[in-house]
Amino acid sequence: MQIPKSSKVVTSYEKIKPFIHHTPVLSSTDLNKKIGTNIWLKCENFQKVGAFKFRGACNAVLPLEFRIAKNGVATHSSGNHGQAIAKAAQIKGIPAYIVMPENAPKVKIQAVKDYGAEIVFCEPTQLSRESTLKEVIQRTSSHFVHPYDDSDVVLGQASAAWEFLHEIPELELIITPVGGGGLLSGSILAAEAFHANENRPLCKVIAAEPEQANDAYRSMLSGTIQSLTNKQITNPTIADGLRTTIGNIPFRIMSRANTEIICVSEESIVHAMRYIWERFNMIIEASCAVPIAALLEKKITPSFKNIGVIITGGNVDLDNLPWNNDS
C-alpha cells in the first residue's frame, strides 16, 4: 500500500472541481479577540451533502473505469461518508450500497435514501458492520470505497486544505479533527503540495480529538495504530464522527510528518459547538467543534498569526441537540 504523492493533490483537485462546492472561509472579530490571533474557518459544512466527505467520495468514485463502476460502489458509514458515496454514485449514474448501523441518526438515513442509494442495516458494532459489507460486496460485486484508508479518498479530502491555502496563503497552521485520519492526512499532503508549488513556507498541520476517543494521540505516541479502550467504546464521545481508529495510509502520512494531536474534554466540545452556532450562525456537528474546543481551551499557542480550522460538517439531528438537556 503506497502513500499518495503530494504532487497528485493538484491533479485530483482539477478532476473533482466541477462537482464540488468551493466553500466559503468565514471569520469573526469575537473569536479572533478570544484567541488573540486571526482564526479562519473553511466551511465544509456548506459542502454538498453537508460535509468534506463529498470531496473524497468524488475523487474515489467519479474516475472509476466502467468495468469496475458498472456493478456500483459500496461502503460502510454511520453517516457523512455514506451520503457522499451515494451522491457521487448518483452523479456517475451507478448503484450505491451503504451499510449503516441501525441506530444512525434518522436525518442521515433519509439523506442517503434521497440520493437513491440502497441502505443495508447492520448492528452498531465493528464486527457486524464488516461482515454485512462483505455480504453486500459478494452479492453485488460492487467496488468498496473505504471511508478513509484509501489513497483516492485521502487525495480528495486534500482539496479542502488546498482551496483554503489558496484563499488565505498566510496560514501558518491548519487544525482538523481526527477520526480515521483521511482529512488530516489529506491536509498534510495539501500543505506539502502548496509549499512546493507556491514557494511558500510549509504550513503546519495538526489535529484535535476528544480525550474520550484519544486513539490518534496514543497511536502517535506509541508509533503503532491504537484502538479505542473498552471504556471509550462503552462511554462514547459526543463527537460521533471521530469514534473510528486511524487508517493505515493516514497513519503513515501522519507519522512521516510527526503530527501533533491535541485532546479536549467532552464539556468543551459542547461549549465550542454552541459558540460556533451562536457567533457564526452556522450549524456544525460536534465532531468539527473539536478543533474550536482546543482553541477556546487555549491549548494552541497563539504565536501563529493566521490559524485555519477546517469545519468538517453540519449534519445534526435538530430534535436532539446536546444543550437541550443541560441548559
Three-class SS of residue 245? coil
Helix axis angle for 151-167 and 53-61, nearest 10°, is: 130
Of the pair 22, 299, the CB lying nearest a copy of itself is at: 22
User: What minimum distance in Å lies between the beta carbon of 230 and a copy of itself?
Assistant: 34
Question: E-assigned strands of 178-251?
Answer: 204-210
Q: Residue 282, interface with a copy of itself (CB under 8 A)?
A: yes
Give dist(CA 249, CA 151) in Å, integer.
7
φ, ψ of residue 51 in degrees (nearest 5): -165, 155
Buried-exposed string 5-18: b where 16+ CB fall within 10 A, e elsewhere: ebebbbebbebbee
- What is the footprint of a copy of itself within residues 232-271 (CB under 8 A)? none
Q: Residue 319, interface with a copy of itself (CB under 8 A)?
A: yes
Catalytic residue flag (residue 78) = yes
Catalytic residue among 53, 87, 92, 108: 53
User: What minimum distance in Å lies between the beta carbon of 108 and a copy of itself?
Assistant: 11
Of the pair 181, 308, the CB lying nearest a copy of itself is at: 308
Of the pair 148, 280, the CB lying nearest a copy of itself is at: 280
State which of residues 137, 280, 293, 310 lies at the interface with a copy of itself (CB under 8 A): 280
Q: Residue 176, interface with a copy of itself (CB under 8 A)?
A: no
Catalytic residue flag (residue 106) = no
Do 210 and 264 contact (CB within 8 A), yes or no?
A: yes
List C-alpha distances in Å: 264 to 93, 112, 239, 277. Answer: 42, 31, 11, 19
User: What minimum distance in Å lies between the beta carbon of 321 and a copy of itself?
Assistant: 8
Catalytic residue among 78, 142, 219, 268: 78
- Triad 283, 287, 293: Cα angle to 5°: 90
State which of residues 128, 204, 283, 322 lies at the interface with a copy of itself (CB under 8 A): 283
**Residue count at the site for a copy of itself (CB under 8 A)?**
29
Residues with a catalytic annotation lie at 53, 78
